[in-house]
Structure 1
Amino acid sequence: MPEIEIEPALKEFFANSSIALALASTERDNPLVLASQQFYTLTGYDSSDVIGRNCRFLQQRPDGEYASNDDAKRKLHAFIHGNDANVRAPIVNFRKDGRPFVNLLFMSKLKAANGKVRYIIASQFDVSRTHPDLLQAYDEALGDALARLKPLLDGHNVMVEGTLATIANSTTTIAQAKLTLAELETNSPY
C-alpha cells in the first residue's frame, strides 16, 4: 500500500489521544493508516500488524472463523456506503492473544472542503467488562476528543462530519455486551 500523507496535526492528535482511535483511508478496502497507542494497548496488536489492513481482522477468531456480528455489520456497511455522518455499534472483536471483547465502536467521516470523504475515524471502547460510570467517562473523553479535533483540521481542509448526537451513555449497551461476552466464553473452545 502506498504511503498516505497524513496531516501533521492529525498525527499529533493521535499521538496525544487518551482514548483508542484508528484512522482509515477511504481508498480500496478502507485500510488503517494511523492508530493511537490506546488502540494498540486495547487490541494487543502493534502498528506492523494493523497499518494497511481493514479493521475487520479484529472480528476474526484465532481459528480463522469470523464472529457473526450481523447487526453491527449491517450498520457499518450502511454507514460506509451511505450518507450517515457517524455510527455507533457494539461489535465482538478479538485481541491478538485471542481473547474476545465487546467493542463499542464509534465511527465518523472526515471530509475535505470539497465534500469528499478523506478518512474514517473510529474509536474503540471495551464495554464487555466495564461499568456505566466508565462508559460515561469514555463518552465524555470521546466528545472532548472530537471537539478538539474539529479546530485542528480546519486549516487542513478536513472536517469531522456530523454531530456528537450518537454519543450517549447506555447501561443497556453494557448489559448486552456482558451477556454477549458470557455467551462467547461459555461456548468458546479457547
Structure 2
Amino acid sequence: MSSELPKALREYFEQSRVALALASAEGDNHLVLVSPAFSRLTGYEPEDVVGRNCRLLQRDAANVEPRARLREFLTRPSQPNVRTPIVNFRKDGTPFVNLLYMSRLRSIDGKASYIFASQFDVSRSQPEMLAEYDEQLTATLGRLVPIASDAGIVVEGTLLTIANSAAIVAQAKMMLAGLESPPDA
C-alpha cells in the first residue's frame, strides 16, 4: 500500500529524524508506512509491522487509560488528535514509555485516509529532551502540512504544547517503574 502513497510523503518519512508511522484510517488501522527513526526506536523493520496494527508494540501491558484515550480518538471522527504516554515494547522485549501523538490525515473531500503517528521514548528522558522532541515534532508537522496538501491530503489538528514536560516525564517513569517491579504476591 505504501506504493499508493504520494512520493513526496514517502520521501518525507524516509528523511524524518522523528519516529513516524502512518496507518490506514479504515478497518483495524494497519500500518502502511514507518520511518527509519521508528525502526531505530522500536527495533521493528517495516516488513515486521506494515500490514499489522501498531498495538503489537503494547504486547500484554495493561495501558488502561492510554488505550481508552486512543479508542476515544479512533471512534470520534471530530477529535482532531490525541497525545498520551503508553507502555510499548521494542522488538527485543525491552519496555519503554512512548509519548504517542496521533492525528488524522484527510483527503480534500474530508474523508479520513490515514492516521499519522509520532513516537518518542520518554521513559528515561529529561525534560529538556522532551522539549527538543516537541520542537522537532512541531517542525515535522509544519513541513508535513504543505507536502500532504500538495498531495490533496489535509493534516487535521495541530500539536498542542505540553504544559508541563516534567510531569509527563515523571508519569512515564512511574509507568516504567510499575512494569519493572515484580507484582505483589
After TM superposition, which residue ranges in structure 1, 4 or more long, deviate above 6 angstroms? none
1:74-153 residue pairs with structure 2 within 5 A?
A: 74-82=68-76, 83-153=78-148
Paired residues of 2:123 and 2:173 also in contact (CA < 8 A): yes
Q: Could you say if the C-alpha distance between residues 138 and 3 of structure 1 is closer, same or farther in structure 2, counting changes exceeding 3 Å? A: closer
CA distance in 1, matches of 2:150, 2:176: 43
Q: Choose which of 36, 50, 66 in structure 2 pairs with 1:72.
A: 66
* Letter matched to residue 42 of structure 2: T
CA distance in 2, matches of 1:32, 1:179: 29
1:1-190 residue pairs with structure 2 within 5 A?
A: 5-60=4-59, 66-82=60-76, 83-165=78-160, 167-168=162-163, 170-187=165-182
2:157 aligns to what SS in structure 1? coil
Paired residues of 1:25 and 1:32 also in contact (CA < 8 A): yes
CA distance in 2, matches of 1:167, 1:146: 15
CA distance in 1, matches of 2:158, 2:50: 27
Paired residues of 1:14 and 1:21 also in contact (CA < 8 A): yes
Paired residues of 1:143 and 1:167 also in contact (CA < 8 A): no
TM-score (norm 2): 0.94
TM-score (norm 1): 0.92
Unaligned regions of 5+ residues in structure 1, if any? 61-65
Deviation at 1:27, TM superposition (A): 2.3
Deviation at 1:168, TM superposition (A): 5.0
* Letter matched to residue 72 of structure 1: P
Deviation at 1:28, TM superposition (A): 1.7
Unaligned regions of 5+ residues in structure 2, if any? none
Q: Could you say if the C-alpha distance between residues 161 and 177 of structure 1 is closer, same or farther in structure 2, counting changes exceeding 3 Å? A: same
Deviation at 1:166, TM superposition (A): 5.5
Q: Could you say if the C-alpha distance between residues 159 and 168 of structure 1 is closer, same or farther in structure 2, counting changes exceeding 3 Å? A: farther
